[in-house]
Structure 1
Amino acid sequence: MSQPRVIALFPEASFGAALNCVGIAQKLRDMGAIPVFLCHPGFTGVFAEYGFKEYHLPAPSQPQAQKNEDYWQAFINTHLPHFNLSAEAQLPTYVAPTWEAIVDTAIDAEAGVESLLDQIRPDAILLDNVIMFPAIVRSGYPWIRIVSCAETEIPDPNVPPYLSGLAPEDDAAVTRFEQTYLNATASAHQRYNAFRKSRGLRPLPAGTFLENSDRLNLLLAPSAVRYSRARPLPRERFVFLEGCVREESRFDPPQLPADDGPLIYMSFGSLGAIDTDLIGKMIDTFATLPARFMVNVGGFLEAYQHVPDNVYLGSWFPQPSVVEQSALFIHHGGNNSFCEALFHGVPSLVIPYCWDGHDNAQRAQATGTGRRLDRTTWSPDTLREAILALLNDTPMAARLQRISREMQAEPGARRAAEAVMAAIDVSH
């Protein structure tokens, strides 16, 4: 009898990518494989909580760890005002420094990734990131790319530029954004290509930090919001997923003093939770609505002193379970959040602040699966109007229920696991 396949999953250090990979790993485990995780410092225990073995990248010394924590806190605090800018204006102010930091992370992690892969000796590596770690290619093990950001990450003439939030037909804005993006990322890209060269890898085209896999690429882009590409991606190497929703424990909403009305869930992700001022103002508006609200505030519970009777705050929720029970999901446009809303037939009110949140906000509006609200121009009146309109949009509700049925008939996590196992069998 052949030995079970060992599959190493390496998500970036964000909960969106991490929990997307958990969903795929759960299905791989059901199929008899042994999924393990390469784990960034700070994510220790996240994957073990779901029963997976973790291999930890080297943790910095205590003084260095404190220095790193201080750096990232300062980084976020510095860039919080930039979240109020347009997607194009964020390119030099936020996107360019973020790419510099991502390149630093790839360089710093290289030796650790190489060492862990030598230790694990996997049958395949699943990389869910926005940048290639040369150690993965150099290891010689088959590797598979996961695109858990928006589909826009893989360009096409019919697809608007990555991170732009633009409609594809807005030709002048698309051209201007593309050139601004290349200019803003040129320094980080040049430094990254020099690093790749030092590790024996070919350079990548301008603006590109991660190549497609020659073996298999998985894209979290449900058919309901997918673009019609001018150059269709080869089906033998590119598999589109109907979302990728993990199996999660059941969440029973707590009884609230004001316990009437539909359940509405809000989460802006671990990064967006830092904007306590914005969330606090939204909570004040929630108090005026005939609904119940579950609000994910991350590690900032202590920032909220006065919580309305119809609002429950938490530092973490088993999100798929909460979304399934909700009538509306207010979120930042993260691809996992958007896909979970679609999977469960729930409308999205997207208030984007950075990265592919702009892309998903545009897509929700364009496909009639939700609405976009600008984080700088909203008011209590416009927020109330948007919430009530989405709760009472009968045609959208019917459309989303159809989308949900179609997605649940072909779950993305299962489809991903099947594609991975088939690709591994071919390589062996």
Structure 2
Amino acid sequence: MPQKTFAFFPEAAFGPALNSVGIAQAVEALGHRAVFLSDPGFVPVYEGYGFEAHPVALSEPMPPEQMAKFWEDFINGHIPNFRKSPYDQIDNYVKDCWTAIVDSAKWAQKDLPGVLAKVKPDVIAVDNVILFPAIKQHGVPWVRVISCSENEIEDEGIPPHLSGCGEKDHACHQAFRDRFNTVIKPIHDDFNAFLASCGEDAYPIGQFFEASPFLNLLLYPEPVKFDRQHPLDPARFQYLEGCVRKEAPYEVPTFAKNNDGPLVYVSFGSLGAGDTDLLKRIIAALGNSRFRALVNIGDYGSEYRDLPGNVHVSNWFPQPSVIPQVDVAIHHGGNNSFTECLYFGKPAIIMPYVWDGHDNATRVQETGHGFKMPRYDWTEAELLAKLETCISDKGMAAKLAATSAHMQGQDGPAKAAKLLEALVR
């Protein structure tokens, strides 16, 4: 078929951004043109993978380097709230987050119509938690990508998004929903007023986005999906089993100590690296163990001195090339880390702090693919014992092997590219 243009608009976070890169790589492999609509601070990320990227203002104008640090500064300002339960984060982190997200949608409406007119996409894929009216109104098929936990698509029978509730803990579900809707109502009313100004209908309380009438792509893997009261229609909702992008090869360094020990990968994502006290504590615990460790410290290298001989740190790792080589991971529950560990069959200890990390931590434990651990309330002995269980538990290993085989048999990026192409056939 003739070459078509597919525009990707992920939110300004590395999880959605890099998942979209994986799909865009597969779209180009089919002979089409993939372009990115981007927060100005993320334009260099997409250009680094060889893609054309067009900036869309999502906040008041500021220098690109300041724009790129917006969410990092936002997260670092909330570190004290990471000690709180998901329920107790509603009044602070969650409320502030939704205020910023609604503001971003308002700003985007100023730029998006002009950018879309310039790019002339045949299909638009948006990975965000909020509606941008200009995308819905552009007149071409638009696709919603759900890179967070699948409970972003609500269902009364499953835990609400961000709650970290167990699948069958319905009292927890109700308490979280009630509190969330109470706290979020003024922000939601403001968003509905904005929708009205754009000629769009109001959303019910708690909802900031809708499912696309064309296609919805869930990056969540089917082996851990929730038991919904209302199953999703496969004609409109497709599970992609993760969208693992292609990265440059990674060679594990030689360690001065424990060079034959089991290998641990530790990463709290680009935003979570600011919690340096926690990372230093984990490094100290691993330094007293038989393990080796690769630790993502983000842009905080000056904070780390006199590292143990069995620990190697870096400001960034090509994660899809690293995880296949490790024995176990410790991460924050972000969707990339969550799905990549499952894709490569690696057990994980998840220490969540915000957003869908709470849901993914609960899910990894209740499906037998790893452990959920509190972020701060643990001892060195408890952490090391969990790591030992991760690499010795035969039942967990069998479950991970089956999940990995299922996911790798699907090839999520290629599946997504073919589904997107079908919209313009």
TM-score if structure 1 supplies the norm length? Answer: 0.95
- Percent identity over the alignment is 42
Counterpart of 1:191 in structure 2: which amino acid?
Answer: D
2:330 corresponds to: 330
- Summarize the Cα distance change of 1:299–1:172 in structure 2 as closer, same or farther, 3 Å threshold: same
Deviation at 1:64, TM superposition (A): 6.4
Deviation at 1:341, TM superposition (A): 0.4
Gaps of 5+ in 1: none
Note the 1:168-247 alignment, pairs <5 A: 168-247=167-246
- Summarize the Cα distance change of 1:397–1:316 in structure 2 as closer, same or farther, 3 Å threshold: same
2:266 corresponds to: 266
1:385 corresponds to: 385
Deviation at 1:376, TM superposition (A): 2.5
Task: Determine if contact 2:60/2:107 at 8 Å carries over to the other structure.
Answer: no
For residue 163 of structure 1, give the secondary structure of its aligned residue in structure 2.
coil
Q: Counterparts of 1:385 and 1:262 in 2: how far apart (Å)?
A: 13
1:399 corresponds to: 399
**More deviation in 65-74 or 203-212?**
65-74
Counterpart of 1:284 in structure 2: which amino acid?
Answer: A
Note the 1:315-354 alignment, pairs <5 A: 315-354=315-354
Counterpart of 2:273 in structure 1: which amino acid?
Answer: A
Q: Counterparts of 2:150 and 2:64 in 1: how far apart (Å)?
A: 34
Deviation at 1:254, TM superposition (A): 1.4
Note the 1:64-83 alignment, pairs <5 A: 75-83=74-82
- Post-superposition Cα deviations, 1:328-351, rounded to whole Å, max 9, x if no partner, equal 111101111111000000001100
- Post-superposition Cα deviations, 1:23-63, rounded to whole Å, max 9, x if no partner, equal 11111111111110012121122112222111122598986
Deviation at 1:22, TM superposition (A): 0.6
Counterpart of 1:299 in structure 2: which amino acid?
Answer: D
Deviation at 1:422, TM superposition (A): 1.1
For residue 24 of structure 1, give the secondary structure of its aligned residue in structure 2.
helix
Q: Counterparts of 1:113 and 1:332 in 2: how far apart (Å)?
A: 32
2:298 corresponds to: 298
Deviation at 1:66, TM superposition (A): 7.9
Task: Determine if contact 2:41/2:68 at 8 Å carries over to the other structure.
Answer: no
1:136 corresponds to: 135
Note the 1:20-35 alignment, pairs <5 A: 20-35=19-34
Counterpart of 2:336 in structure 1: which amino acid?
Answer: N
Q: Counterparts of 1:86 and 1:330 in 2: how far apart (Å)?
A: 19
Q: Counterparts of 2:239 and 2:206 in 1: how far apart (Å)?
A: 23
* Total equivalences in the alignment: 424
1:167 corresponds to: 166
Q: Counterparts of 2:47 and 2:69 in 1: how far apart (Å)?
A: 27
**More deviation in 89-98 or 167-176?**
167-176
Cα RMSD (Å): 1.7
Q: Counterparts of 2:166 and 2:121 in 1: how far apart (Å)?
A: 41
1:97 corresponds to: 96
Deviation at 1:134, TM superposition (A): 1.1
Note the 1:138-153 alignment, pairs <5 A: 138-153=137-152
Task: Determine if contact 2:297/2:315 at 8 Å carries over to the other structure.
Answer: yes
- Post-superposition Cα deviations, 1:183-237, rounded to whole Å, max 9, x if no partner, equal 1211211111111111111111111111110000000121110112121111111
TM-score if structure 2 supplies the norm length? Answer: 0.96
Task: Determine if contact 2:58/2:108 at 8 Å carries over to the other structure.
Answer: no
Counterpart of 2:215 in structure 1: which amino acid?
Answer: L
Q: Counterparts of 2:423 and 2:209 in 1: how far apart (Å)?
A: 20
Task: Determine if contact 2:241/2:412 at 8 Å carries over to the other structure.
Answer: yes
- Post-superposition Cα deviations, 1:114-156, rounded to whole Å, max 9, x if no partner, equal 2110100100000001111111112112100000000110111
| Runs of 4 or more above 2 Å deviation | 57-78
Q: Counterparts of 1:393 and 1:242 in 2: how far apart (Å)?
A: 24
1:13 corresponds to: 12
Q: Counterparts of 2:23 and 2:336 in 1: how far apart (Å)?
A: 13
Gaps of 5+ in 2: none
